[in-house]
A and B are shown apart, each in its own frame.
Chain A
Amino acid sequence: MTDRLRRLGRRIAVAARRVLRVAKWESARASGGVDRKTLAAGVALLLVAGGVVGVGVATGVAGLDVDRDVYRVGVDPGSPYADAIEAEPSLRAVSAGRASLGDTADAVVVTVVRPGSEDGGAIDPGDVESVVVRATDTQKGEAAAASVREAVEAHNERLMRAEPNRTAAFPVTVTLRYVGRTTGFDEGTTLGGDGDQTSDSDGSTGGGSDGGDGGSDGEGGSDGDGSTTDGVGSVGGSDGSDGDGGFAVPSIGGAAFGADTVGSPGSITPPFPFTSLLLAFVFLVPMNFLIQAYGSSILDERTNRRGEPLLVTPLSPAEIVAGKTLPYAAAAAVVTTLIALAVGGGALSVIAVAPVAATFLGATFVGAMFARSFKELTFVTVGVSVLLTTYAFVPAIFTNVTPVALVSPLTLVVFDLQGEAVSAGEVLFSTAPMAVGAALLFGLGLGVYREEDMFSQKPVTRKFLDALAVRLSPVPTGGAPLDRRRLRALGGVAFLTACTIPFVFVAELLAVAVLFALPVTVSIPVLLVTIAFIEEVAKSVGLYAGFERGVFERLDGVAAGDGDGTLRVALAVGLASGTGFFLAEKATAVVQAVGLTDLFLGRAAFGDVAGLSGLPPLALAALFFAPLALHAVTTGLASVGASRGRTAYALALTLATLGHAAYNAGVVSLG
């Protein structure tokens, strides 16, 4: 026993040494590729641009107003509304005399003056009795009219801020508290209001006007910077840069969305973790540069057979890949830690970002193993960046809204930056699926880290099938039904299918997220079919790879009399794959119970665990095993199709998908 342990320890030590040697070589090569001159040039470029933009924003010349001047509004230059329109970046004032509605103007401001006060020249604001905005009868006209209203509101707000009589200008002060119903009342975050509470709540937000307005002081909020700081752009400029404090949840006061009269009702902002979200995004940015270098390095091995010498050494492919990946993983860890230190995140942020970084690297590794050229790699890298960034970032936006947000580890970062406690279960729920996904991606890529795939120009789809088929072994046709070799082969099939579960969930979540925008009557049926399709493909694509690569015997390859045996093999692997999927799905039922079923669409997607209570045990058992029967039948069908070639596979897959969708529809309507 101890002998065996010692031998194992020695083997691990050897492997670790080998991995480290490859890692050292890789990092030496990587730093040679990007020479100092390039690095210096890049840094210089960034500094110059940062300086120019910074100065521009500071002086008010530049602003990230993508909507500058998109609506044209006709207004009389003498009208008091002209100032309001001028101050709003998205509106451009057109002289009312020359403006014709629909042609040169989208909306026209018409003021009604009190009788007797007209003197031909400028109109005094006090004499305006009412105002009408006439807009074109288009969506653009409506949007322009809404912008005019907002502009007038902002203008009034500015007027009032300059008003010496504070009491009349802001007659209402608000103190906002958030209280949990079970915990009772406590002093929560406050919003200006009573003089004693202002200093700590808004001093940190840095948004201009914090002289507390406890009653009658004339100074409060009169620095009048409202003209330059509105909209989201300014938040990034003013808060993203200093990044200390002010992450209290729910975020109140001047920090978000430029409402900056602390204490008045206008300054209430809903609990939107804007700053934390922005900072969480910062963690993702370096990943995009990292995977470019990593992808290049892997593909470099494959061009001009450069990786061949390494392959013939006693190093195993896994050791080579681990060694080549280690420097990049280390770089990701260092950068993440630095960012965490800079933005005030703790160890939790680093732990949460780790699986995201691993998935970035894993997906890029697979992409670089499959790509045929640098050009193809570029698209793969862009695809990986876009998909993973959205997958990590979008759920985090809903951090305080729904528990589903926890599917992204970035949500943990947002919590960490807000200083909220997170339970160990939540951390596990959030990070484990992505970590498993990253490991599986590396496993997939390793399957083709061999000579015949690395240096050949095969299309991506064929390499993908190769990578899957590597993990399968032939199913013997003769012999006893419970032959050990056969069981092992079928177990391999089941395991391969079970491994697709994380990707199936990600695909289904993306489908839910994308279809979320559609009306429910459309989205539910489309969703049911999409999900059935995703699951059917996941269950049968490995089998198709097995038949296509000749791991399982195909009908056309054998004598006519043996067709029966092929059919039996097809059905057997179909059953095994369906069972593997069923078991993996049930294992994740625990995870689903944590929170995914809260969402209505989520229920349609992952529905079969909800609403089971109150049924007799027999029906419960039937319901529990019904998915098993379903998966076995549909996958058997697809498997038989796969054994007869591509067209038959496509046909069988369609049938299986339809059957599966019909079953899902039944479950949803029952539930």
Chain B
Amino acid sequence: MDSRLTIAGRELAGLRAEKTILLAIGIQLFIAMFSSFLVVGLVSMYDPGALDGAQVEVAAAGDAVDDLERAASEVPGASVTAYPDADAARGAFERNAADAVVVTTRRESGRVSAVVTAPDATVETTVIVVQLRELLRTYELNERDARAPFLEDSPLPLPERSDTSPYFTFTYTVLIPLLVFLPVFISGSLVVDSITEEIDQGTMELLRVAPVTLAEIVDGKAAAAIGIAPGQALIWLLLLEANGTSVANVGPILALMTALTTLVVAVAVGISAVAPDRRAAQLLYSVAVLVLFGGATAMAGGPANAVARLAIDSADAATGVLVVAYAVIAGAAYLGVRRVVAAEGLGR
């Protein structure tokens, strides 16, 4: 046991000397900041609900102007001005007196056809189109209500609107899983580098001369890599907590991510035993992790979803079973790889 701790300590000392772990945390911080920026930026640029008081002026003409005006009174960000005919409305649009034109025609079939004109390629187009959609949907609902007797299944009444920010769901379903899993990938990559570097520099031979078994060397390196992962994740969760985002079930989340780190480290040890050249090993490792993780995320109950549900406090018994299952799989995978490596040796 002692020699394993020594090897693990040596690994950590190397990381500390190079201050790479600081760089790692810096990269994670950057990703977190940038994804937040992305969401806030996207929301404010593409969701006019976030832009308070974005008012869209619509020039309307045609048969159903009154109904449109009624719909506009229900939509906060749109106002409709009636014009006597389509040309007058288009004139207003050309003069910049209106942001968009809606010309409605009642067809013989009983439908209303609306021809909408929005400005092309300006900064405001997105905002205008989103508001127009809101307006026309409200109009559609009103029209549908009037025709409800002709429908086989009447639509269900909608509940009240509630104020919520899209940032909330994003934080729990994307940001937290991302931050929790980044250290997992970094740890696996570290193990690949650590083993291939020892082989490349010939120091693995020196280590083998010392009174330690190959299994102990692997254990030590794996312990160092697995040991640093939960700490990083914990820093993130605490930072989020300080920022006002409460994260539930911190213990199970850390258990889950430690199990995944063990699994990824097992994969990393296996790959660097098969492909002792760093270039090949890193390439294979990236592909393997991509496959492993992409596949797991696409399945129901994938690790990203499990973390999201734990963090938002919507976990149930199944989530607990999932955490235990991941731990068992990871333990089995690591022990299996360790056994094979101990028997076959590194860098054949």
Instruction: Give chain A's interface residues, CB within 8 Å of chain B.
Output: 30, 33-35, 38, 41-42, 45-46, 48-49, 52-53, 56-57, 61-72, 80-81, 84, 90, 92, 106, 109, 125-126, 128-133, 135, 139-140, 142-143, 145-149, 152-153, 155-156, 159-160, 162-165, 167-181, 183, 185, 188, 193-194, 215-216, 250, 264-266, 268-272, 288-289, 292-293, 296-297, 303-304, 372-380, 382-383, 386-387, 390, 394, 397-398, 400-402, 513-514, 516-517
Contact = CB atoms under 8 A, between A and B. Distances in A.
Contacts of A179: 93, 117-120
Given A167-B110, A250-B129, A379-B23, A514 B37 contact: yes
Interface residues of B, number: 112
Given A272-B46, A378-B193, A133 B36 contact: no
Interface of B: 14-15, 18, 20, 23-24, 26-27, 30-31, 33-34, 36-38, 40-42, 45-46, 90, 93-94, 96, 107, 109-121, 123, 125-126, 129-130, 132-133, 136-137, 139-140, 143-144, 146-148, 150-165, 168-169, 172-174, 177, 186, 189-190, 193-194, 196-197, 200-201, 275, 277-280, 282-284, 286-288, 290-291, 294-295, 297-300, 302, 304-305, 308-309, 312-314
B298 A268 contact: no
Contact of A514 (B33, B90, B136, B164): B33
Given A185-B90, A379-B27, A374 B278 contact: yes
A168 B129 CA distance: 25
Contact of B96 (A177, A181, A398): A181
Contacts of B314: 69-72, 92, 106
B113 A42 contact: no
B298 A64 contact: yes
A165 B163 CA distance: 35
Residue among A35, A38, A84 facing the most chain B CB atoms (10 A cut-off): A38
Given A61-B299, A167-B109, 6 more contacts: A62-B299, A92-B314, A176-B129, A375-B18, A378-B186, A382-B189
A376 to B, nearest CB: 5
15 contacts: A45-B291, A49-B294, A66-B297, A106-B314, A109-B159, A143-B168, A170-B140, A171-B143, A175-B114, A181-B93, A297-B279, A374-B278, A375-B15, A376-B20, A379-B20
Contact of A131 (B129, B159, B186, B194): B159
Given A293-B279, A303-B200, A386-B31, A64 B297 contact: yes
A133 B169 CA distance: 19
B201 A304 contact: yes
Contacts of A140: 168, 312-313
A265 B109 contact: no
Contacts of A194: 113
Given A140-B312, A177-B118, A383-B23, A289 B283 contact: yes
B28 to A, nearest CB: 9
Given A34-B280, A168-B147, A296-B279, A173 B300 contact: no
B126 A272 contact: yes
A270 B130 contact: yes
Contacts of B15: 375
A265 B150 contact: no
A48 B298 contact: no
B119 A180 contact: yes
Contact of A375 (B14, B118, B155, B299): B14
A270 to B, nearest CB: 4
A144 to B, nearest CB: 9
A3 to B, nearest CB: 47
Nearest to B171: A139
A418 to B, nearest CB: 11
A171 B140 contact: yes
Nearest to B119: A181
A38 B46 contact: no
Contacts of A293: 279, 283
B147 A268 contact: no
Contact of A374 (B164, B197, B283): B197
A152 to B, nearest CB: 5
Given A61-B300, A68-B305, A292 B279 contact: yes
A67 B173 CA distance: 6
A296 B278 contact: yes
Contacts of A373: 14, 18, 193, 197
Contacts of B118: 176-179
B144 A45 contact: no
Given A156-B156, A383-B27, A135 B162 contact: yes
A565 to B, nearest CB: 37
Given A63-B298, A514-B33, A70 B277 contact: no
Nearest to B311: A70
Given A56-B299, A181-B119, A215-B107, A34 B156 contact: no
Given A45-B287, A131-B156, A375 B125 contact: no
A84 B156 CA distance: 10
Contacts of B196: 374
Contacts of B137: 265-266
Contacts of B275: 38
A539 B93 CA distance: 51
Contacts of B119: 178-181
A171 B110 contact: yes
B38 A402 contact: no
The 8 closest A-B pairs by CB, nearest first: A265-B136, A49-B291, A171-B143, A178-B120, A168-B147, A374-B193, A156-B155, A168-B150
A292 B280 CA distance: 10
A123 B3 CA distance: 70
Contacts of A62: 298-300
B336 to A, nearest CB: 18
Contacts of A69: 305, 309, 314
A310 B146 CA distance: 84
A72 B309 CA distance: 11
B172 A70 contact: yes
Given A168-B147, A175-B113, A378-B190, A163 B153 contact: yes
A152 B193 CA distance: 52
A293 B281 CA distance: 10
Residue among B20, B33, B119 facing the most chain A CB atoms (10 A cut-off): B20
A167 B150 CA distance: 9
